[in-house]
Every structure is written in C-alpha cells, then in structure tokens.
Amino acid sequence: MSNILIIDHRSSIIKELEEALTQRGYNPETKSYKELSGIKAQDYDAIFSGGGYTKIKGNNDLENEVFLMYQAEYEKVPFMGICHGAQICSDRLGGHISEIEPRKGIFKDYEIKEQDPILEGIEIKNLKAFEWHEYGIDSVPDNYEIIITDSTGKIQMARRKGFDFYIVQFHPEAKRPKEKPATNTEPILDNFLKRVS
C-alpha cells in the first residue's frame, strides 16, 4: 500500500480528498501544515498540499511545508498542490499570486497551454471543475510549464519541468453537485496517482 501524505490548511474540502484516495485503495495520512516539523518527503510515495484559508505572505508556519516541497522535488516524490496548496507552491517557490474577487462554483472557461499526461482522458473544451479561492496564480517559477489557464489569464495548472510535481488551482477531487456531479476532473487525480509507486 502506498504511503500518501495530505497537508491540511483548515479546509472544509480536505475530507473529499481523503475519501477520493480511500475509494481508490489508498490510506492517506492527513497532517496540519503546523505539524510538519521533522517530516521527510522520502518517507512518502506521494504528497498532496490541500486547500484552506491560511495566510500565505509572511506566514512563518508554512516554512516546514515549503521545506517539504523542496525535499519532494529533490527526492522526486510525486507532489500535487491543490487550490491553496498550489498558491503556496507558486508564491514560495518563485511565482506570483494576487488577491482576486472570490471565485466559487463550477467553471468551464479553461484553455490548454501545454499537453501533459495528467490530462489523459480529459477533453479541455468540456472540462468542468470546482473552484473556491480568493487568490489567483499570476506566474509560476521559470522551471515550470503552464498546462491550463482560465479566461482571465490566471494559471490553473502547471508542472515542474521533468518532475511529477504539479500545482492545480481547481479541486480535481471535488464532485459538484455531490448528488449528480457536473464536474469531470477525476481523471486528473487518477492520472497523477499512476505515478505513485
């Protein structure tokens, strides 16, 4: 069984990520971003940095998580930053984020910028994803390639070149509405998990 870490930033959606992984046969371990001291990326087969509401700029409580991101990159541990996790990655690893008018709901205004194996089984013109955030990703570090943007030009998905290290602004784990989902982002989660040993 693969050992998967989920980093929680006080998100109400984190349970959906736990459930999505459990349904796929994984037994994820969830830790608060404040409980990462001494945690080593190489002890995990994959790491997810989930959504939430923590302050990003000037938040010293994120330093252990940022160190874990660098470790994951160095050790080539598959990593996915989702929503707030993507914003932290972008901001702390050399990109730029900015406050936006809160964006919550199901969106379909996406444009593919770069083909990537994580999009296998996804028709971008039909992609419908759930978003809930107050920061937009304006730029990513130079060693990242942009995969998807939205109609405002904000970055929705990017990847560290040559690594299984992704940032995803929307929630690939979230089904909305829950009873009869219109969202269709689950293949992204499945394609990422193919990289997990």
Q: Identify the CATH number of the domain in which residue 23 sits.
A: 3.40.50.880
What's the pLDDT at 181? 82
- Residue count of the chain, please give it: 197
What's the pLDDT at 31? 97
Structural domain harbouring 77: 4-193
User: Which of 1-10, 65-74, 115-124 shows the highest mean pLDDT?
Assistant: 65-74
> Is beta strand 79-82 parallel, antiparallel or unpaired with respect to 29-32?
unpaired
- Angle formed at CA 143 by CA 135 and CA 35, multiple of 5 degrees: 55
Is 1 a residue whose pLDDT tops 80? no
Is 49 a residue whose pLDDT tops 90? yes
Mean pLDDT across the stretch 57-71? 94
Tokens of 34: 């404040």
Report DSSP state, residue 42.
G
Find out whether 33 and 62 touch, Cβ atoms under 8 Å: yes
Q: How many domains does the chain have?
A: 1
